[in-house]
Structure 1
Amino acid sequence: MTDPMINPACGIDFGTSNSTVGLADASGARLLPLEDGSVTLPSAVFWQTEGAPALFGRAATAAYLEGEDGRLMRGLKSTLGSGLIHDKTAVGGRAVSFREVLARFIGHLRAAQLAAAPGLDRVVFGRPVHFVDDDPAADAAAEAVLAEIARDCGWREVGFQYEPIAAALHYEQTAAREELVLIVDIGGGTSDVSVVRVGPGRAVLPDRGRDILANDGIRAGGTDFDRLLSLSEALPHLGYLAPTRGGGTMPRHYYHDLSTWHRINALYSARTASDLKALRLVADQPTLIDRMIRVVAGRHGHALAMRVEAAKIALSDAEVARLPMADLTGGPNPMLRRAGFEAAVEAPIARIRALLERVLSEAGLAPDRIGTVFLTGGSSQLPILRATVQSVLPGVVMASGDMLGSVGTGLALEARRRFG
């Protein structure tokens, strides 16, 4: 049994793909087990239609894959900063807003914290450098909604810290000397980069503002890689960009919804079913549209997205990987190649490269002034991403922490510094 912590502070990493709850006291920081002993909880909600309680994490995904009645929702963080956060979707015969779904999930994280530290009512949440690119008003609105949800869940005082800064605080726990570290945090929905001065003697300083030399971020991450891989390799087998008999191509928005986690449920409507049947009549290859109709009618969208995500992960270790989707689509099981994936994600990778160069420039540093590049986030181990970092900072030491836990641990340490 874990020894109880004395006067702990709490940090929450609510991620696009995975979430953690961290506690820290004078003895250090740890992440709480959230599901079956795991300290990470997939950011997924399965809203059952028969009035049963919502399911979260792996249990949510399992219920969906087992064919239970209900709605699976993933990628919920991506709704922050967009008009979609206030939209409603039909679940179990009633309209449920995406804000309510977020509140249910964050309330589940709050319950885990209360079980471990009943009296704790102050928290530091992580946030990307930008929830929304080039829109300060939408970015501020996203943070405000998240803070409001957190207070509604019972936290009296809610603070925020940039996720890459939290990762730096975690890295600093093992730093042997003072150095400049480039933190590269590639999450599910955002990519953030920071230059931070760290060192054994700096962790106790009350104000670390001067140690942050530069930081910036973009709204592009692992779910974008999934989407682009799906559009490139999976959805052409369902009619994406397929010609019509009139000389045009199939409308793209259905396929973009199918490849985007938080938009998949929008396809499950009578109107979409009717539209696809009409499009089949003008398609040059109606068999492809039959496959699309099969996926939408069977509500296999999330299952297909999971298969694509798994293939992406497999391509991190192998040059080729099979995408098993025939049982969902009635089509082939295509063989994917790493080179094809890397070509598909060329645009966001170029944006990440520009982000790296921009942050170094804003810090006023040549690449050789960086002591270590610290990589974190679920997509940071992709070979194309590591190669991009290496090309911008040739010869610099690259270190990796807990891919899914560094930010949460750092947020707990930040909460300890703020709240004592």
Structure 2
Amino acid sequence: MYCAIDFGTSNSAIAVPEGPAGATALVPLEGEHRTMPTAVFYFVDGPENDGPPRAFGRAAVAAYVDGLDGRLMRSMKSILGSALVEQTTDVGGGRGVKYLDIIAGYLLHLKRCAEARVGAPIERAVLGRPVHFVDDDPARDAAAQEALASAARRVGFRELQFQYEPIAAAFDHERHLGAEEIVLVADIGGGTSDFSVVRVGPARARRVERHDDVLANHGVHLAGTDFDRRIELAAILPAFGYGAFGPSVGGAAPREVPSGIYFDLATWHLINTVYSPQRVAELRALKGNYADPRHHARLMTVVSERLGHELAARAEQAKIDVADGGQTTIDLSVVEARLAAGLDEATAVDAIEADVARIVEAARETVTRAGLAPERIATLFFTGGSTGLRLLAQRIAAAFPGARAVRGDRFASVATGLGLHAARCFGG
């Protein structure tokens, strides 16, 4: 028995053998949902059961939204390749958990869902990985893959293989083809924007070894969570003092309010650091640095009531709301009555313009590394949650005007392709 796991920054999925020989299917993880948010909520109270009491996926997000006592963990994949992976973090109730153990616990939950589906233990797995866990640092990139492998081995996977996520997406696209073509896969999720140029076709689909069909891989560590961060800084955090100036002292020009706190508030895995008693005391002492006392008061409400993740979630939702154009109002009354901020597509585009330009350049560079001219690309295959952002998909498509654009399942194409690859590797 075997499985294939797409452990994503924002969402995850797992595929197992099902149906005719060599076929796989995605496991329903929550009701009929075949994908699940990559989220864990640690409860302050509750009995230990293979670790601290916790909920996963939508149940984890719901526990957080409902205001239950505990800590929500998201974007855990982003810590792979960093020094945080072996560090211990406070999850409430006097409990501390290593970040790598948080990842292992999530993988164990996926594994148990899969085993319940097939009715047997699973010890072999294909895991997806981004083209680069860490940009321009091969040693840290290798360490990130090994950390993920270590977490998988801890929960009982004895035999592991890795496959690049955009290549897996190409396998999903390939099963619908009637002729051979060269495809550029754009897999843009929560943490990375990955590209692969792959030669695909019905005759090639039967091969287990596809190394020669992969013409180039490239990617950048920029994607949806970075967009969320930019939008929170641009649209939400100015109401809390980001970019504001302090009072003029002695006739000198006003100085900008220190910005470090705002960057931490807009970065998922750093939000919890702003709640430490020492950090809160330091922020309280900065009251005189704000010309508008309302900014400081709102900021102190956020850190004292631990509302940082709530602001980040509202930035993410605002991005989704304007993804296809239009505008939205971001309700911030959780901090202050009647407080709100506006966001329109133009503001969102301006906020993420530099990131989008880097992502488009990465797509061009991938094709260059394949030794191809842009017009040789027959198809652009889009997958990953962030390809729902209209501007981004349009900008990538504009770089390859002769290619047809095909949209896969934004949240399941990679997992489906990993399942196909696992069947070739382990299916006999």
- Secondary structure of the residue that 1:262 maps to in structure 2? helix
Contact 1:31/1:409 (<8 A) preserved: yes
Asked whether the 8 Å contact 1:24–1:413 carries over to 2, the reply is no
Amino acid at match of 2:3: C
Equivalent in 113, 116, 133 of residue 131 of structure 1: 133
Tell me the amino acid that sits aligned with residue 89 of structure 2: T
Q: Secondary structure at the match of 1:327?
A: coil
In structure 2, what is the Cα distance between the partners aligned to 1:324 and 1:318? 19
1:216-273 CA distance string (max 9 Å, x none): 1110010000000001110011111221235322222211111111111111111122
- Tell me the distance in 1 between the aligned counterparts of 2:304 and 2:168: 43
**What's the TM-score, normalizing by structure 2?**
0.94
SS in structure 2 at match of 1:146: helix
- 1:220 and 1:34 map into 2 onto residues whose CA distance is 27
Report how many aligned residue pairs link the two structures.
413
Question: For residues 270-320 of structure 1, what are the alpha-carbon distances to aligned partners after superposition, in whole Å with 9 as ceiling and x for unaligned?
Answer: 112211211112211121111111111111111111111111011112321
Q: Distance between the aligned counterparts of 2:421 and 2:330, measured in 1?
A: 41
Distance 2:159 2:12 in 1: 20
Structure 1 letter corresponding to 2:62: A
TM-superposed deviation, 1:9? 3.3
- Contact 2:327 / 2:344 at 8 angstroms: preserved in 1? yes
Cα 1:254–1:331 shift into 2, 3 Å:
farther
1:16 aligns with 2:9: yes
Q: Which sits farther off after the overlay, 253-262 or 214-223?
A: 253-262
Name 1:363's counterpart in structure 2. Answer: 370
**Residue 106 (structure 1) aligned with residue 107 (structure 2):** yes
Deviation string, structure 1 residues 60-85 (Cα, Å, up to 9, x no partner): 11111111111011111001001111
The 5-angstrom pairing of residues 8-407 of structure 1 reads 9-24=2-17, 26=21, 28-52=23-47, 53-91=53-91, 92-117=93-118, 118-245=120-247, 247-330=254-337, 332-407=339-414
Partner of 1:5: none
- 2:32 counterpart letter in structure 1: G
Deviation >6 Å, runs of 4+: none
Is residue 9–residue 412 contact of structure 1 (8 Å, CA) maintained in 2? no
Unmatched 5+ stretches in structure 1: 1-7
The Cα of 1:27 is off from its aligned counterpart by 5.0
User: 1:321-358 CA deviation, whole Å, 9 max, x = no partner?
Assistant: 11111223456312211011111101111111110111
The alignment partner of 1:11 has SS state of strand
Q: What amino acid does structure 1 have at the position aligned with 2:40?
A: V
Between 1:405-414 and 1:295-304, the stretch displaced more is 295-304
Alignment CA distance shift 1:88-1:248 (3 Å): farther
Alpha-carbon distance in structure 1 between the residues aligned to 2:61 and 2:208: 42
CA distance in 2, matches of 1:37, 1:22: 14
Q: Is the 8 A contact 1:176 1:200 kept in 2?
A: yes
User: What is the CA–CA distance in structure 2 between the aligned matches of 1:402 and 1:23, rounded to whole Å?
Assistant: 18
CA distance in 1, matches of 2:75, 2:185: 23
Partner-residue secondary structure (3-state), 2:5? strand
Superposition deviation, residue 386 in structure 1: 1.2
Specify the alignment match of 1:4 in structure 2: none
The structural deviation recorded for 1:30 is 1.2
Residues in 1 aligned to 2:123 and 2:418: alpha-carbon distance in whole angstroms: 15
Q: What do the CA deviations read for 1:180-224 (whole angstroms, capped 9, x no partner)?
A: 011000010000001101111111113111110111111001000
Contact 1:304 1:328 in 2 (8 A): no
The structure-2 alpha-carbon separation of the partners of 1:336 and 1:113, relative to structure 1 and needing over 3 Å to count, comes to: same
Counterpart amino acid of 1:295? V
CA contact (8 A) 2:2 2:123 kept: no
Cα distance in 2, alignment partners of residues 27 and 156 from structure 1: 21
**Cα pair 2:271 2:309 within 8 Å, conserved:** yes
Q: Secondary structure at the match of 2:291?
A: coil
Contact 2:183 2:377 survives alignment (8 Å):
yes
* TM-score, structure 1 as length reference: 0.96
CA distance in 1, matches of 2:187, 2:321: 21
After TM superposition, the structure 1 stretch with the greater mean CA deviation from structure 2, 240-249 or 180-189, is: 240-249
CA contact (8 A) 2:135 2:220 kept: yes
Letter in 2 for 1:12: I
